[in-house]
Protein backbone atom coordinates (compact mmCIF):
# COMPACT_ATOMS: atom_id res chain seq x y z
CA UNK A 1 0.00 0.00 0.00
CA UNK A 2 1.31 3.50 -0.89
CA UNK A 3 0.98 6.17 1.77
CA UNK A 4 -0.27 9.45 0.30
CA UNK A 5 1.16 12.68 1.65
CA UNK A 6 0.79 16.28 0.64
CA UNK A 7 4.12 16.21 -1.25
CA UNK A 8 4.01 12.83 -2.97
CA UNK A 9 1.74 11.57 -5.74
CA UNK A 10 0.29 8.12 -5.92
CA UNK A 11 2.52 5.84 -7.98
CA UNK A 12 0.97 4.22 -11.00
CA UNK A 13 3.08 1.08 -10.67
CA UNK A 14 0.69 -1.86 -10.60
CA UNK A 15 2.98 -3.68 -8.14
CA UNK A 16 2.75 -0.82 -5.67
CA UNK A 17 -0.90 0.02 -6.14
CA UNK A 18 -3.57 -1.65 -4.02
CA UNK A 19 -5.58 -4.17 -5.98
CA UNK A 20 -9.35 -3.99 -5.97
CA UNK A 21 -9.50 -7.35 -4.24
CA UNK A 22 -7.16 -6.09 -1.46
CA UNK A 23 -9.30 -3.03 -0.97
CA UNK A 24 -12.38 -5.15 -0.71
CA UNK A 25 -10.66 -7.33 1.89
CA UNK A 26 -9.69 -4.29 3.98
CA UNK A 27 -13.16 -2.78 3.91
CA UNK A 28 -15.34 -5.84 4.31
CA UNK A 29 -18.54 -5.36 6.28
CA UNK A 30 -18.85 -7.35 9.50
CA UNK A 31 -20.09 -10.87 9.02
CA UNK A 32 -23.71 -11.62 9.79
CA UNK A 33 -23.97 -12.79 13.46
CA UNK A 34 -24.36 -16.50 13.92
CA UNK A 35 -27.42 -17.93 15.59
CA UNK A 36 -25.44 -18.43 18.81
CA UNK A 37 -24.23 -14.82 18.88
CA UNK A 38 -27.70 -13.53 18.13
CA UNK A 39 -29.12 -15.64 20.93
CA UNK A 40 -26.61 -14.18 23.41
CA UNK A 41 -27.51 -10.64 22.43
CA UNK A 42 -31.25 -11.20 22.88
CA UNK A 43 -32.87 -10.98 26.32
CA UNK A 44 -33.15 -14.33 28.06
CA UNK A 45 -36.55 -15.93 27.96
CA UNK A 46 -38.42 -16.54 31.25
CA UNK A 47 -36.83 -19.50 33.02
CA UNK A 48 -38.95 -22.60 33.60
CA UNK A 49 -38.49 -24.52 36.86
CA UNK A 50 -39.45 -28.11 37.68
CA UNK A 51 -41.93 -28.90 40.43
CA UNK A 52 -39.14 -30.51 42.48
CA UNK A 53 -36.20 -28.09 42.64
CA UNK A 54 -32.62 -29.26 43.32
CA UNK A 55 -30.56 -26.54 44.99
CA UNK A 56 -26.88 -25.84 45.57
CA UNK A 57 -26.55 -23.20 48.28
CA UNK A 58 -22.89 -22.34 48.70
CA UNK A 59 -21.88 -25.99 48.13
CA UNK A 60 -24.62 -27.54 50.29
CA UNK A 61 -27.36 -29.48 48.52
CA UNK A 62 -31.11 -29.25 49.15
CA UNK A 63 -34.25 -30.44 47.41
CA UNK A 64 -37.64 -28.84 47.82
CA UNK A 65 -40.85 -28.12 45.98
CA UNK A 66 -41.18 -25.04 43.83
CA UNK A 67 -44.30 -24.06 45.77
CA UNK A 68 -42.24 -24.04 48.99
CA UNK A 69 -39.80 -21.50 47.57
CA UNK A 70 -42.75 -19.38 46.45
CA UNK A 71 -44.66 -19.72 49.75
CA UNK A 72 -44.48 -15.98 50.52
CA UNK A 73 -44.58 -13.82 47.42
CA UNK A 74 -42.70 -10.83 48.86
CA UNK A 75 -39.52 -12.81 49.59
CA UNK A 76 -36.28 -12.94 47.63
CA UNK A 77 -36.70 -16.68 47.05
CA UNK A 78 -40.14 -16.19 45.51
CA UNK A 79 -38.71 -13.52 43.23
CA UNK A 80 -35.70 -15.65 42.26
CA UNK A 81 -37.87 -18.62 41.30
CA UNK A 82 -40.70 -16.65 39.74
CA UNK A 83 -39.34 -17.19 36.23
CA UNK A 84 -38.54 -13.51 35.78
CA UNK A 85 -34.87 -14.00 36.68
CA UNK A 86 -32.19 -16.34 35.42
CA UNK A 87 -30.72 -18.70 38.04
CA UNK A 88 -27.41 -20.38 37.08
CA UNK A 89 -26.96 -24.12 37.56
CA UNK A 90 -23.96 -26.17 38.62
CA UNK A 91 -22.46 -29.09 36.69
CA UNK A 92 -25.15 -31.43 38.04
CA UNK A 93 -28.02 -29.14 37.06
CA UNK A 94 -28.75 -27.85 40.57
CA UNK A 95 -29.87 -24.23 40.81
CA UNK A 96 -27.04 -22.30 42.45
CA UNK A 97 -27.45 -19.67 45.19
CA UNK A 98 -24.16 -17.98 46.13
CA UNK A 99 -24.80 -17.91 49.87
CA UNK A 100 -23.56 -19.88 52.89
CA UNK A 101 -25.98 -22.79 53.18
CA UNK A 102 -25.38 -23.62 56.85
CA UNK A 103 -28.78 -22.33 57.98
CA UNK A 104 -30.69 -22.71 54.72
CA UNK A 105 -32.28 -25.90 56.04
CA UNK A 106 -33.88 -23.84 58.82
CA UNK A 107 -35.20 -21.43 56.19
CA UNK A 108 -36.77 -24.31 54.24
CA UNK A 109 -38.27 -25.86 57.38
CA UNK A 110 -40.08 -22.62 58.12
CA UNK A 111 -41.33 -22.30 54.55
CA UNK A 112 -42.52 -25.91 54.61
CA UNK A 113 -44.28 -26.10 57.94
CA UNK A 114 -43.58 -22.98 59.99
CA UNK A 115 -40.96 -24.68 62.18
CA UNK A 116 -38.60 -22.39 64.09
CA UNK A 117 -34.92 -23.13 64.83
CA UNK A 118 -33.62 -24.04 68.31
CA UNK A 119 -32.58 -21.14 70.51
CA UNK A 120 -28.86 -21.45 69.83
CA UNK A 121 -29.44 -20.85 66.11
CA UNK A 122 -32.04 -18.09 66.34
CA UNK A 123 -29.64 -15.17 65.80
CA UNK A 124 -27.94 -16.80 62.80
CA UNK A 125 -31.21 -17.81 61.15
CA UNK A 126 -32.51 -14.28 61.74
CA UNK A 127 -29.64 -12.90 59.64
CA UNK A 128 -30.46 -15.35 56.84
CA UNK A 129 -34.14 -14.41 57.04
CA UNK A 130 -33.11 -10.77 56.63
CA UNK A 131 -31.06 -11.65 53.54
CA UNK A 132 -33.92 -13.56 51.94
CA UNK A 133 -36.48 -10.94 53.10
CA UNK A 134 -38.78 -13.48 54.76
CA UNK A 135 -41.00 -11.16 56.82
CA UNK A 136 -43.14 -13.81 58.59
CA UNK A 137 -40.01 -15.63 59.78
CA UNK A 138 -38.46 -12.38 61.02
CA UNK A 139 -41.63 -11.58 62.99
CA UNK A 140 -41.72 -15.06 64.53
CA UNK A 141 -38.05 -14.98 65.53
CA UNK A 142 -38.35 -11.52 67.08
CA UNK A 143 -41.07 -12.84 69.38
CA UNK A 144 -38.92 -15.56 70.99
CA UNK A 145 -35.73 -15.62 73.02
CA UNK A 146 -33.07 -14.42 72.71
CA UNK A 147 -34.32 -11.79 70.25
CA UNK A 148 -37.31 -10.80 72.37
CA UNK A 149 -35.03 -10.10 75.32
CA UNK A 150 -32.67 -8.22 73.04
CA UNK A 151 -35.47 -5.84 72.06
CA UNK A 152 -36.04 -5.05 75.75
CA UNK A 153 -32.30 -4.57 76.30
CA UNK A 154 -32.02 -2.23 73.33
CA UNK A 155 -34.94 -0.19 74.69
CA UNK A 156 -32.92 0.34 77.87
CA UNK A 157 -29.71 1.14 75.97
CA UNK A 158 -31.69 3.72 74.00
CA UNK A 159 -31.59 5.81 77.19
CA UNK A 160 -27.79 5.87 77.07
CA UNK A 161 -26.45 8.81 75.04
CA UNK A 162 -23.48 7.83 72.86
CA UNK A 163 -23.48 4.24 74.16
CA UNK A 164 -21.95 2.74 71.00
CA UNK A 165 -19.45 5.58 70.75
CA UNK A 166 -18.32 4.90 74.31
CA UNK A 167 -17.84 1.22 73.53
CA UNK A 168 -15.64 2.15 70.58
CA UNK A 169 -13.64 4.47 72.81
CA UNK A 170 -13.03 1.65 75.32
CA UNK A 171 -11.73 -0.59 72.55
CA UNK A 172 -9.52 2.08 70.98
CA UNK A 173 -7.98 3.20 74.29
CA UNK A 174 -7.29 -0.40 75.34
CA UNK A 175 -5.73 -1.24 71.96
CA UNK A 176 -3.52 1.85 71.98
CA UNK A 177 -2.27 1.25 75.52
CA UNK A 178 -1.53 -2.41 74.85
CA UNK A 179 0.41 -1.55 71.68
CA UNK A 180 2.36 1.22 73.41
CA UNK A 181 3.34 -1.07 76.28
CA UNK A 182 3.74 -4.15 74.04
CA UNK A 183 1.50 -5.84 76.60
CA UNK A 184 -1.03 -8.67 76.47
CA UNK A 185 -3.66 -6.60 78.25
CA UNK A 186 -4.58 -3.01 79.03
CA UNK A 187 -6.46 -1.37 81.89
CA UNK A 188 -8.67 1.70 81.87
CA UNK A 189 -11.05 3.46 84.24
CA UNK A 190 -14.77 3.59 83.49
CA UNK A 191 -17.40 5.52 85.42
CA UNK A 192 -20.93 4.11 85.43
CA UNK A 193 -23.49 6.16 87.33
CA UNK A 194 -27.28 6.11 87.29
CA UNK A 195 -27.99 9.43 88.99
CA UNK A 196 -26.29 12.69 88.13
CA UNK A 197 -26.70 14.17 91.63
CA UNK A 198 -23.83 13.15 93.94
CA UNK A 199 -24.87 12.41 97.52
CA UNK A 200 -22.57 12.30 100.50
CA UNK A 201 -23.96 9.67 102.91
CA UNK A 202 -22.90 11.44 106.09
CA UNK A 203 -24.45 14.79 105.14
CA UNK A 204 -28.11 15.76 104.95
CA UNK A 205 -28.71 16.66 101.30
CA UNK A 206 -29.33 20.39 100.89
CA UNK A 207 -29.87 20.06 97.16
CA UNK A 208 -32.52 18.18 95.27
CA UNK A 209 -31.67 14.88 93.60
CA UNK A 210 -32.12 13.95 89.97
CA UNK A 211 -35.72 12.99 90.57
CA UNK A 212 -36.75 16.54 91.43
CA UNK A 213 -36.45 19.93 89.81
CA UNK A 214 -33.50 22.06 90.80
CA UNK A 215 -32.38 25.51 89.79
CA UNK A 216 -29.75 26.20 87.19
CA UNK A 217 -27.38 27.57 89.79
CA UNK A 218 -27.70 24.40 91.87
CA UNK A 219 -26.99 22.27 88.82
CA UNK A 220 -23.81 24.17 87.96
CA UNK A 221 -22.45 23.64 91.46
CA UNK A 222 -22.29 19.91 90.79
CA UNK A 223 -21.16 19.94 87.18
CA UNK A 224 -17.82 18.17 86.73
CA UNK A 225 -16.10 15.38 84.84
CA UNK A 226 -14.73 12.42 86.72
CA UNK A 227 -11.10 11.63 85.99
CA UNK A 228 -11.76 8.47 83.99
CA UNK A 229 -11.30 7.26 80.42
CA UNK A 230 -14.98 6.73 79.63
CA UNK A 231 -18.15 7.69 81.50
CA UNK A 232 -21.67 6.21 81.14
CA UNK A 233 -24.73 7.94 82.58
CA UNK A 234 -26.95 9.24 83.94
CA UNK A 235 -30.26 7.59 83.05
CA UNK A 236 -33.75 7.25 84.48
CA UNK A 237 -34.96 3.65 84.46
CA UNK A 238 -35.44 0.71 86.81
CA UNK A 239 -32.32 -0.95 85.40
CA UNK A 240 -29.33 -0.16 87.62
CA UNK A 241 -25.57 0.19 87.30
CA UNK A 242 -25.00 -3.57 87.31
CA UNK A 243 -27.45 -3.98 84.43
CA UNK A 244 -25.50 -1.49 82.33
CA UNK A 245 -22.20 -3.14 83.24
CA UNK A 246 -23.66 -6.44 82.04
CA UNK A 247 -24.60 -4.80 78.73
CA UNK A 248 -21.12 -3.35 78.26
CA UNK A 249 -19.38 -6.67 78.96
CA UNK A 250 -21.85 -8.58 76.77
CA UNK A 251 -21.43 -6.27 73.78
CA UNK A 252 -17.64 -6.32 74.05
CA UNK A 253 -17.65 -10.12 74.39
CA UNK A 254 -19.82 -10.42 71.27
CA UNK A 255 -16.99 -8.69 69.42
CA UNK A 256 -14.54 -11.30 70.65
CA UNK A 257 -13.00 -9.02 73.29
CA UNK A 258 -12.15 -10.55 76.67
CA UNK A 259 -12.98 -8.11 79.46
CA UNK A 260 -12.92 -8.25 83.26
CA UNK A 261 -14.04 -5.46 85.57
CA UNK A 262 -14.09 -4.58 89.24
CA UNK A 263 -15.13 -1.58 91.30
CA UNK A 264 -12.07 0.27 92.63
CA UNK A 265 -13.87 3.02 94.56
CA UNK A 266 -15.67 6.28 93.87
CA UNK A 267 -14.66 9.53 92.23
CA UNK A 268 -14.59 11.38 95.61
CA UNK A 269 -13.95 14.73 93.94
CA UNK A 270 -14.79 17.68 96.24
CA UNK A 271 -17.64 19.77 94.88
CA UNK A 272 -18.98 22.19 97.51
CA UNK A 273 -19.11 22.33 101.28
CA UNK A 274 -19.21 18.72 102.46
CA UNK A 275 -20.35 17.31 99.14
CA UNK A 276 -18.15 14.98 97.15
CA UNK A 277 -18.76 13.05 93.96
CA UNK A 278 -19.69 9.48 94.82
CA UNK A 279 -19.95 8.06 91.33
CA UNK A 280 -18.54 4.50 91.24
CA UNK A 281 -15.33 3.91 89.27
CA UNK A 282 -14.62 0.55 87.64
CA UNK A 283 -11.35 -0.78 86.35
CA UNK A 284 -11.74 -2.58 83.03
CA UNK A 285 -9.07 -5.07 81.97
CA UNK A 286 -9.06 -5.87 78.24
CA UNK A 287 -7.02 -8.97 77.33
CA UNK A 288 -5.95 -9.14 73.69
CA UNK A 289 -4.54 -12.64 73.43
Give the CATH number for residue 72. 3.30.710.10
Q: Is 240 among the domain residues?
A: yes
pLDDT of residue 33: 45
Counting other chains too, the contacts that 72-80 makes at CB distance below 8 Å and 24 or more residues apart are: 72/111, 72/134, 72/135, 72/136, 74/133, 74/135, 75/132, 75/133, 75/134, 75/135, 76/131, 76/132, 76/133, 77/111, 77/132, 77/134
The one-character DSSP state at 180 is H
Same domain, 186 and 283: yes
Task: Report pTM.
Answer: 0.66
Same domain, 85 and 185: no
pLDDT of residue 203: 44
Longest distance between any two alpha carbons in the chain, whole Å: 121
Q: Is 78 among the domain residues?
A: yes
- When divided into structural domains, the chain yields a total of 2
Q: Is 29 among the domain residues?
A: no
Go through the chain and tell me how many residues it has: 289
Q: Is 60 among the domain residues?
A: yes
Q: Is 208 among the domain residues?
A: no
Q: Is 239 among the domain residues?
A: yes
Same domain, 90 and 189: no
55-84: per-residue pLDDT in tens? Answer: 999 999 999 999 999 999 999 999 999 999
Per the structure, the complete domain to which residue 117 belongs is given by 52-144
Same domain, 110 and 188: no
- Sequence-distant (6+) residues with CB within 8 A of 212 are none
pLDDT of residue 45: 58
Residue ranges of the chain with pLDDT lower than 70? 1-45, 196-223
Q: At what angle are helices 104-113 and 135-142 packed, to 10 degrees?
A: 100
Q: Of 110, 144, 178, which residue is a domain's last?
A: 144
Amino acid sequence: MVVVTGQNKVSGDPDDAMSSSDAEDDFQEPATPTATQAGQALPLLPQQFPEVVPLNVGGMYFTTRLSTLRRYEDTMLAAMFSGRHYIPTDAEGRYFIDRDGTYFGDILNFLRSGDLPPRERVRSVYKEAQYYSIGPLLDSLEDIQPLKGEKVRQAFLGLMPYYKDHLERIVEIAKLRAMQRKARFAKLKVCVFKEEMPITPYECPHFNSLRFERSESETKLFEHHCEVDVSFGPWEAVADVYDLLHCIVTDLSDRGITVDHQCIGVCDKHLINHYYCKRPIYEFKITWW
